Amino acid sequence: MNQILRTYEDKLIKSGLAEAGAPLLGCLDADLEWNRTDPDFAVFEAIFERLNINSLIFSRPAEPYRSIIDYLAETSNGIITPQDCETRMFLHDLPVSFQFLPDEITSILKKRKSVIIPGRGILTYGMVGMEQAYVTYASVCFACFIKFFSDFLWDAKKGNADQRKRKLFDGVVKQLDPPASFHGSLIKGPFNSADRVCEAIQEAGRLTVEHRLVDSYFGNISFCHSRTLYISQTGSSLDDLKECIDPCPLDGSSCVPITASSELPAHLKIVQTTGYRAILHGHPKFSVILSMDCDIENCKCREACHLKCPHDRSVRGIPIVSGEVGSGPHSLCNTVPGAIRSEPGVIVYGHGVFTAGTTDFNRPFKNLIEIENNCREEYFDRIR
């Protein structure tokens, strides 16, 4: 089997997104190769013929994603609309096809990066590589998880959760991963070389993915050493950062930041204004869910909560701020640094968690786990 196909099949299974034997992956190079045979090859080959793509993933998700996605698709009007940041930025919405036909599927994929076929699975593609298809598949699972638990929390608080949804919720909860835990130690600072910094960044990134504290591999990480901020590259896999860490001088004397994480401005501002040197940003699920839970009625910013929420909000003492990627007037570099200065971390509306430390990644990583576990406990407290 093509090594690329094997690699991404293993990633889907290892990350808990699909069960062994379920993923169908196709890769077009000189020839069209598949990781296994399938009775519906004619449908998938037709998709390759009609779209300018070189890779495809189709799979039934593993539980609890399977039950969640089938429910959301069945009860949708053909479009699922999560409100988390990644969906807003990269997916927009999640289309559903109730027919497993090439014409129907390709018409959707010409406009979106994925399509959900209820009872059958998720289909995604890549135009330049299998990585794109994998990221989209993982992001669909993440977005549907966030939407289902967010919707149920809202319905439960309003007394609107019907018997079917409650039964489904109870079944899904039983299949959740246990809360993340870590009792070891990461590489300890202070670091005396750039190589040691990069080793520490790679270790922290890998552990963040292994503990499922990110959506796919999304997130970013940095450390400031000798007036240079070493930061993960945009689009890089946090669990495979070798050759994907950019050195960005604080004086702006290099063009390297062109390929650095899109959240470089926020990392720079934290380093420059707080005294922290180690910064870790992940997307743990229950932190994202609770960031969007708000009971303020008739809020003038209701549809722009992710940009400029005017209210002081928190979860068990951890502040929630709004903000978008980049350096605009509503950017994270204007909201996160001030909030994180005296706190274990900051939750960004619909987006994830920033944590920071002064010497190494031990404190940021452990705080990321603690914040997520506290949010998980708080979620079920609010349900009750």
Write the CATH number for 327: 3.40.225.10
Whether 189 is in a domain gets the answer no
Res 218 pLDDT > 90: no
Residue 338 falls inside a structural domain = yes
In a domain, 188, yes or no: no
Q: Is residue 179 part of a domain?
A: no
Q: Residue 304's pLDDT band (boundaries 50, 70, 90)?
A: low
Half-sphere exposure of 296 (CA within 13 A, CB side): 13
pLDDT of residue 83: 84
Q: Are residues 271 and 308 in the same domain?
A: yes
Domain of residue 63, residue span: 3-174
- Of 198-212, 300-314, 355-369, which gets the smallest average pLDDT? 300-314
**The domain boundary residue, chosen from 109, 140, 174:** 174
Q: Is the pLDDT of residue 307 over 70?
A: no
Q: pLDDT by residue (tens digit) across 17-42? A: 999 999 999 999 888 999 999 999 99
Q: Give percent of the chain above pLDDT 90.
A: 78
Say yes or no to pLDDT of 76 above 70.
Answer: yes
What CA–CA distance (Å, rounded) separates 75 from 78? 9
pLDDT reported for residue 139: 94
Percent of the chain clearing pLDDT 70 (strictly above): 95
Domain count, the chain: 2
- Within a domain: 154: yes
Q: For 229-273, write each residue's pLDDT tens digit.
A: 999 998 888 988 999 999 999 987 776 667 888 889 999 999 999
Cβ(48)–Cβ(26) under 8 Å? yes
Q: Are residues 205 and 134 in the same domain?
A: no
Which of the two residues, 377 and 256, has the higher pLDDT score? 377
In the predicted structure, residue 309 carries a pLDDT above the cut 80: no
In a domain, 182, yes or no: no
pLDDT band at 305 (very low <50, low <70, confident <90, very high): low
CA 237 – CA 219 distance, rounded (Å): 9
Are residues 168 and 221 both part of a single domain? Answer: no
3-state secondary structure 206-221: HHHHHCCCCCCCCCEE
Among residues 174, 208, 232, the one where a domain terminates is 174
Q: At residue 217, does pLDDT exceed 70? A: no
Higher pLDDT, residue 7 or 312:
7
Is residue 322 in some structural domain?
yes
Amino acid code (one letter) for 210: E
Domain identity same for 168 and 250: no
Q: Across the chain, what does the average pLDDT equal?
A: 92
Q: Which residue's entry shows tokens 């993933």?
A: 57
How large is the average pLDDT for residues 161-190? 95
In a domain, 184, yes or no: no
Three-point CA angle 268, 274, 277, nearest 5°: 60
Q: What SS3 class is residue 14?
A: helix
Same domain, 154 and 203: no
Instruction: Let me know whether 140 and 237 are in one domain.
Output: no
**Do residue 156 and residue 214 come from a single domain?**
no
pLDDT above 60: residue 1? no
**Are 51 and 155 members of one domain?**
yes
User: Count of alpha carbons within 13 Å of 207, Cβ hemisphere only?
Assistant: 23
Q: Is residue 291 pLDDT above 90, yes or no? A: yes
CB-based contacts of 172, cutoff 8 Å, min separation 6? 63, 64, 67, 68, 148
Domain final residue pick, 105, 139, 174? 174
- Are 147 and 239 found together in one domain? no
- In this structure, the answer to whether residues 200 and 109 fall within a common structural domain is no
Do residue 147 and residue 209 come from a single domain? no
What average pLDDT does this structure show over 42-71?
Answer: 96
Q: Which residue intervals of the chain are DSSP H helices?
A: 3-14, 41-50, 65-74, 85-86, 102-109, 130-158, 163-174, 194-210, 264-274, 285-291, 305-308, 336-340, 362-383
Tens of pLDDT along 105-156? Answer: 999 999 999 999 999 999 999 999 999 999 999 999 999 999 999 999 999 9
So what's the pLDDT on residue 384? Answer: 83
Of 227, 225, 218, 221, give the one whose Cα is nearest residue 202.
221
Q: What predicted TM-score, i.e. pTM, was given to this entire model?
A: 0.94
Same domain, 208 and 166: no
pLDDT band (50, 70, 90) for residue 373: very high
Please tell me the predicted confidence (pLDDT) of residue 123: 98
